[in-house]
Each structure stands twice: as structure tokens, then as C-alpha cells.
């Protein structure tokens, strides 16, 4: 199986340690590809909306985004990590997610995403891990992923793992290992179940694309939906 990991920080800190613990159950049988931000996507989206209007290959950062997009599409499991920075994901993670706005369901979601699983790992010192996870979950769910596991933790002591109490370290370790074992038990030869929330979002976007495509058959998003057969009876979760 293939796992693609997007690390929201280059620091080998607590987030990195928890992610390593999560991956332990997969190391002996998975191909793991890791990206570190901002190194692997160092620029901000400048809002030109060229990706939406003209195509993702026209983005000034297409070389970075194309590589990560391909890796995400080939992954059976996507792992995204970030510490909480002022209650949200790192700026580097947000900059990456902005680049993938064209993959949101109202634009051109990839059919592969609908059968995938993803895991989000976030932690903080006191509060903000949950809202950090939500920053990432919004994108994953709007890309079409229904099965998303979330780890959130609060250190409540120190920012350095070794200086945490033994009790706290054991608590965080147990929690991340539980999530890891849950995801290690999955049969990745079968696609994940697409839930009704994803199907409802898809249905709303489909109605929108039907109108857009009718009014302007050259509009890229509408053309894409028509080409996938989604304006007819084809559905990505049945592919």
C-alpha cells in the first residue's frame, strides 16, 4: 500500500514524534512518501485563480503542486500533520491547502479521492488542536474523502516531549497507537465507504455544475464534470 504524508512543519518536534508512532504499524509493508512544509511547497497562492479558470498546470507553483497531487492520488492512506499555531494549522499547511482549492468539490475533485482514507494528527500546548484539525479536515472532506481519522492532543506541561510527565507521554502514546492500529486493520484493497454528507455535497455541486455547463459549455469546471460523466448517471464512489 502507498501512504503519503504531508508534514505541516519541518521541525522534528512533538508532531513529528506522534506521526512516527502512527506510522510504526505500517513501516514493514507500506511505501511511505513524505513531504515537509514549507520546503516542498514554499510559496503562497497569489490568488490569480488561473488553476480554476485555465487549469492547474498554469499555476506558478505547478511543479510543486503537480508532484504532491500525483502522490496524493496514488496514496491508499493520506496522513496530514500540524501543530496548533494560534488555534490553527501552520501557515505552511494553509499555503499548501490554498493551492488545492481547485480540487474542492465545487471545482474539479479527483474521483480517486472518494475511496480514500485519511488521518490528521494535530497537537498543541494547551488549546487549539481541534480547530487545527478542522482546518485540514475541511479540505480533505471537500476533496471527497469520507473516512477521516483524527488525533488531537494537548501537552499541558512542556513543549519538549522528554520534559512531559511520564503519565502524559503514556496517554498520548496510547491514543496515537490506538488510531494507528485502527487504520492498520483496514483492507486497503477495497475503497472506503462514501458517506451521505459527501454524497449531499456532491449532489449540490452537481446541480451547480449542470447550470454552469449549460450556460457556458467552455467553462473548465463544468466541462470536467461533463467529461467525468457526473452530470449524467456516473458517480465517483461507484467507479
**Spatial contact of 191 and 111, defined as CB atoms under 8 Å apart:** no
Determine the interface stretch with ligand FMN among 54-62, 83-91, 110-118, 220-228 (rule: CB under 6 A).
83-91
Residues near 184 by Cβ (< 8 Å), separated by ≥ 6?
A: 25, 26
For ligand FMN, the binding residues in 116-135 under the rule CB under 6 A are 123-128
Q: Which of 3, 5, 14, 119 binds ligand FMN (CB under 6 A)?
A: 14
Cell numbers placing 189 = 484493497
Please identify, using beta-carbon distances, which residue of 123 and 141 lies nearer to ligand FMN.
123
Residue 8 CB, nearest distance to ligand FMN (Å)?
A: 9
For ligand FMN, the binding residues in 152-171 under the rule CB under 6 A are 155, 159
Q: Which of 4, 9, 71, 180 binds ligand FMN (CB under 6 A)?
A: 9
Residue 10 CB, nearest distance to ligand FMN (Å)?
A: 10
Determine if 84 is a binding residue for ligand FMN (CB under 6 A): yes
Determine the interface stretch with ligand FMN among 8-16, 135-143, 170-178, 213-221 (rule: CB under 6 A).
8-16
Please identify, using beta-carbon distances, which residue of 94 and 213 lies nearer to ligand FMN.
94
> What is the total residue count of the chain?
239
Please identify, using beta-carbon distances, which residue of 85 and 224 lies nearer to ligand FMN.
85
**Spatial contact of 80 and 4, defined as CB atoms under 8 Å apart:** no
Question: What does the alpha-carbon distance between residue 223 and residue 50 come to, in Å, rounded to a whole number?
Answer: 16
> Which residue, chain included where needed, has cell 481541534?
130
Please identify, using beta-carbon distances, which residue of 7 and 228 lies nearer to ligand FMN.
7
Residue 24 CB, nearest distance to ligand FMN (Å)?
A: 18
Size of the site for ligand FMN (CB under 6 A): 19
Q: Tell whether omega for the bond before 181 is within 30 degrees of 0, i.e. cis.
A: no
Q: Which residue is nearest to ligand FMN (CB)?
A: 13
The contact set with ligand FMN (CB under 6 A) reads 9, 11, 13-16, 83-87, 123-128, 155, 159
Amino acid at each position: 500500500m502507498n501512504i503519503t504524508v504531508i508534514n505541516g512543519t519541518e521541525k522534528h518536534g512533538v508532531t513529528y514524534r506522534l506521526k512516527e508512532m502512527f506510522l510504526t504499524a505500517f513501516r514493514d509493508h507500506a511505501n511511505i512518501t513524505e513531504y515537509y512544509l514549507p520546503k516542498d511547497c514554499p510559496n503562497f497562492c497569489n490568488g490569480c485563480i488561473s488553476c480554476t479558470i485555465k487549469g492547474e498546470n498554469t499555476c506558478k507553483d505547478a511543479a510543486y503542486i503537480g508532484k504532491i497531487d500525483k502522490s496524493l492520488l496514488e496514496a491508499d492512506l493520506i496522513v496530514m500533520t500540524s501543530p496548533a499555531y494560534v488555534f490553527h494549522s501552520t501557515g505552511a499547511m494553509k499555503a499548501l491547502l490554498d493551492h488545492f482549492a481547485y480540487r474542492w468539490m465545487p471545482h474539479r475533485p479527483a474521483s480517486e479521492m472518494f475511496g480514500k482514507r485519511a488521518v490528521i494528527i494535530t497537537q498543541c500546548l494547551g488549546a487549539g488542536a481541534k480547530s487545527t484539525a478542522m482546518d485540514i479536515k475541511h479540505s480533505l472532506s471537500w476533496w471527497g474523502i469520507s473516512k477521516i481519522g483524527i488525533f488531537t492532543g494537548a501537552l499541558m506541561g512542556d513543549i519538549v516531549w522528554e520534559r512531559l510527565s511520564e503519565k502524559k507521554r503514556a496517554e498520548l502514546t496510547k491514543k496515537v497507537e490506538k488510531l494507528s492500529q485502527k487504520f492498520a486493520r483496514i483492507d486497503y484493497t477495497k475503497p472506503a465507504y462514501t458517506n451521505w454528507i459527501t454524497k449531499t455535497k456532491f449532489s449540490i455541486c452537481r446541480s451547480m455544475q449542470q447550470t454552469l455547463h449549460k450556460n457556458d459549455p467552455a467553462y473548465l469546471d463544468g466541462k470536467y464534470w461533463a467529461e467525468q460523466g457526473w452530470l449524467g448517471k456516473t458517480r465517483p464512489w461507484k467507479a
